[in-house]
């Protein structure tokens, strides 16, 4: 297999690595632009508060202007008093909120992006110091605390996966020239895949658990949580591409040497050659043979020269290659 074959062998894992990086970038773009429908469709978790139904008399909260407004108004008034939108999308860096417009999502606000972001409904819905947060069950509050810690690890795993995938692409360039380069790329790819799988598993388990706890706690208020299908498809596509790239990098480190299998004869130009008869050291090829005699000497049989079998045997090849 020559250099062209080596290039073809490296092209596949390189393309898969680039595809994995593109998927990771798409994950990071979720929720970054409220005016971009594609970005707004990328979220891990969605809280639908369209049909929220709260009985103000059951809140048992301290008396203040805000709670007076809640008690004296309808359910719609509750939403307006708390400034609760119809839906909330939780992405990697932030959350976005909006209302339904003719049955379609219309994002009206995206929070500032921040590292290690986690969605805190008590803070987002302005329930601090109102006593309304006590409506949340103990299990949900414990789940939110665990969610906050897990979200930090998930973000770190994502960043490491992105960085190592970029490094994998650059190191992969050296894999074109040798199998040692492929081995080094395989090692980097293994690290990248590990953190990418950790990120995907953490996100999937984390938000699936959060959805269950959230729905169990707020179901009676007609608030519904769901997972973002598009986001998780992109995340697991990134995992699949990364895993496939790792396998092909490993294959290229064992095979695809880049060396030609053609055996070269003759001079260094690589021209093919053929065998031709050479003169015997004991006589002439085209004339009568002049043989010597003496101890240790054996005469040839049927015109085939034999080697000396004395105390110091030597190898003799009666044919040699010649360029054509």
Q: How many CB atoms within 10 Å of residue 178?
A: 14
Q: Which of 54-68, 193-207, 236-250 has the lowest mean pLDDT?
A: 54-68
Give residue 103's pLDDT.
Answer: 76
Of 183, 130, 193, nearest in space to 161 by CA: 193
Average pLDDT, the chain: 76
Q: How many CB atoms within 10 Å of residue 305?
A: 18
Residues 94-144 have pLDDT tens digits of 999 998 888 788 899 999 999 999 988 877 876 665 555 555 656 667 778
What are the residues facing 99 on neighbouring strands?
106
Q: How far apart are CA 208 and CA 201, in angstroms?
A: 10
Of 230, 203, 180, nearest in space to 23 by CA: 230
3-state helix, strand, coil in the chain (%, to 5): 50, 10, 40
Averaged over 36-62, what is the pLDDT?
A: 77
Q: Sorting pLDDT into bands at 50, 70 and 90, what band is 16? A: very high
Give residue 174's pLDDT.
Answer: 82
CA 21 from chain center: how many Å?
6
Which residue is listed with tokens 């990098």? 249
CA 249 from chain center: how many Å?
13
pLDDT at residue 265 tops 50: no
pTM of the model: 0.70
Start-end of H helices in 30-137? 37-40, 65-72, 75-82, 121-124
Element (DSSP H or E) covering residue 213: helix 179-218
Task: Express as a percent the part of the chain with pLDDT over 90.
Answer: 32
Averaged over 165-189, what is the pLDDT?
A: 86
pLDDT at residue 267 tops 50: no
Give residue 200's pLDDT.
Answer: 96
Q: How far apart are CA 147 and CA 120, in angstroms?
A: 9
Which residue is listed with tokens 């388990």? 205
């Amino acid at each position: 297999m020559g250099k062209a074959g080596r290039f073809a062998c490296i092209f596949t894992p390189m393309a898969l690595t680039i595809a994995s990086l593109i998927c990771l970038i798409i994950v990071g773009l979720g929720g970054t632009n409220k005016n971009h429908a594609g970005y707004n469709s990328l979220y891990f978790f969605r809280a639908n508060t369209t049909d929220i139904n709260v009985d103000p008399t059951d809140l048992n909260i301290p008396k203040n202007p805000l709670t007076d407004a809640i008690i004296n108004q309808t359910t719609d008034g509750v939403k307006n008093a708390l400034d609760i939108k119809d839906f909330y999308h939780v992405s990697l860096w932030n959350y976005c909120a909006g209302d339904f417009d003719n049955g379609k999502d219309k994002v009206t606000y995206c929070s500032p992006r921040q590292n290690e972001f986690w969605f805190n409904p008590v803070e987002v819905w302005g329930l601090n110091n109102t006593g309304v947060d006590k409506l949340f069950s103990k299990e949900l509050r414990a789940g939110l605390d665990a969610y906050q810690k897990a979200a930090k690890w998930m973000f770190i795993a994502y960043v490491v996966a992105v960085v190592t995938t970029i490094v994998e692409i650059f190191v992969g360039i050296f894999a074109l020239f040798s199998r040692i380069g492929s081995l080094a790329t395989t090692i980097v790819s293994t690290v990248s895949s590990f953190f990418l799988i950790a990120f995907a598993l953490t996100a999937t388990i984390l938000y699936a658990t959060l959805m269950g706890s959230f729905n169990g706690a707020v179901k009676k208020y007609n608030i519904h949580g769901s997972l973002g299908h598009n986001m998780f498809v992109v995340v697991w596509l990134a995992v699949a591409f990364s895993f496939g790239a790792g396998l092909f990098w490993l294959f290229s480190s064992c095979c695809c040497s880049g060396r030609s299998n053609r055996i070269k004869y003759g001079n260094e130009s690589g021209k093919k050659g053929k065998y031709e008869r050479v003169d015997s050291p004991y006589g002439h090829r085209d004339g009568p043979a002049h043989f010597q005699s003496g101890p240790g000497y054996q005469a040839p049989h049927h015109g085939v020269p034999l080697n000396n079998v004395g105390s110091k045997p030597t190898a003799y090849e009666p044919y040699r290659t010649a360029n054509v």
